[in-house]
């Protein structure tokens, strides 16, 4: 018996799994994983499926993490939150603002669950999760042993963390600890936020501005299936950046502390005049070139072919080779997204 994964991925790609289990406790999560291991089947842990592309039917058990709960401890310096991995991220942002605990407003409307946020070290409009992350709780699914990793131990990088490496296989995130300082400092470095006055702006005004930017630029997954930003913003070395900027002086670029330069992948794609470009049922979004959408019952192969085409066009024009931010899932588990679209 196979079960449809279409409701469990925001791309809305039709694929099946041998079994789908909803886990509301650590014990249920571990039990489902153990049963799959005993049956010698692969197991995949999923939040809201907002950052995955299923390439094929999954030959095992998909475990949906729905561990919920928000606990708050107030101290003199900050609010400390312990949040279940299955909580919706945007609902958490709303909850903190409703309870006068600012700090997450720049991360509003990022799709997905709280438990997925450390994996990617989610970020938007000048703020990354690592800025507010205190710790991450996870369980070793083989032994049942629970671990708490401090923020430095998570090895956060740009859309990267230890949960993509040493803690990827056989581990599941169960909760995330956040620290929101009581002295609030707005981050107004990107987009429409630069027009706000740092002396008078409120957290709610930042939240509203971020929501407006995202809603006007990004497609609603309920209308056009998508996984948000499909590609990472590329980071290139200083020499390459200097050469690129001499040829394209208007290119948005963000110098990094280590001497590298981050580029805007959406701008690079846009310069290749790819907005609205289609392959099969997949298309480049007309408002935001960084987003690939399920325009008309796209298959996973439509999306892969489109991503390959976009990568090639950008590579040929700029000598910059884009890498997907989205996780690619094959029959047995995650596979290399770069190799798949190369």
- Positions marked catalytic: 159, 229, 325
Work out the angle at residue 117's Cα, subtended by the Cα atoms of residues 96 and 181, and round it to the nearest 5 degrees.
40
DSSP 34-68: HHHHHTT--EEEESS-TTEEE-S-EEEEEEEE---
d(Cα 335, Cα 328) in Å, to the nearest integer? 6
Question: Look-up: residue for tokens 């791309």?
Answer: 11
d(Cα 251, Cα 253) in Å, to the nearest integer? 6
Q: Is 8 helix (H, G, I), strand (E, B) or coil?
A: helix
Q: What phi and psi values does residue 147 have, to the nearest 5 degrees?
A: -125, 145
Contact 51, 326 (CB under 8 A): yes
Question: Look-up: residue for tokens 């047995």?
Answer: 332
């Amino acid at each position: 018996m196979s079960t449809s994964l279409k409701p469990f991925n925001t791309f809305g790609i039709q694929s099946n799994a041998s079994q789908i289990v909803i886990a509301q406790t650590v014990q249920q999560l571990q039990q489902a994983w153990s049963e799959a291991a005993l049956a010698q089947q692969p197991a995949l842990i999923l939040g809201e499926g907002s950052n995955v592309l299923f390439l094929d039917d999954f030959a095992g058990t998909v475990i949906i993490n729905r561990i919920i709960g928000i606990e708050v401890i107030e101290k003199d310096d900050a609010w400390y939150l312990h949040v279940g991995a299955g909580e919706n991220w945007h609902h958490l942002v709303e909850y903190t603002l409703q309870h006068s605990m600012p700090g997450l407003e720049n991360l509003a409307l990022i799709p997905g669950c709280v438990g997925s946020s450390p994996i990617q070290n989610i970020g938007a409009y000048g703020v990354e999760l690592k800025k507010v992350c205190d710790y991450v709780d996870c369980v070793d699914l083989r032994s049942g042993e629970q671990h708490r990793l401090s923020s430095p131990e998570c090895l956060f990088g740009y859309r990267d963390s230890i949960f993509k490496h040493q803690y990827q296989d056989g581990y599941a995130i169960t909760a995330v600890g956040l620290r929101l300082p009581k002295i609030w400092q707005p981050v107004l470095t990107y987009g429409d936020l630069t027009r706000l006055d740092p002396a008078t702006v409120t957290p709610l005004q930042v939240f509203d501005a971020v929501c407006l930017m995202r809603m006007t630029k990004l497609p609603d997954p309920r209308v056009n299936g998508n996984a948000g930003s499909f590609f990472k913003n590329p980071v290139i070395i200083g020499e390459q950046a200097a050469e690129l900027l001499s040829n394209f002086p208007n290119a948005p670029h963000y110098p990094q502390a280590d001497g590298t330069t981050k580029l805007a992948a959406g701008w690079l794609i846009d310069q290749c005049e790819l907005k609205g470009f289609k392959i099969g049922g997949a298309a480049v979004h007309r408002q935001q070139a960084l987003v690939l959408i399920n325009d008309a019952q796209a298959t996973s192969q439509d999306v892969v072919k489109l991503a390959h085409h976009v990568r090639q066009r950008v590579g040929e024009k700029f000598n910059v080779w884009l890498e997907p931010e989205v996780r690619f899932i094959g029959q047995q588990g995650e596979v290399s997204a770069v190799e798949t679209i190369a």
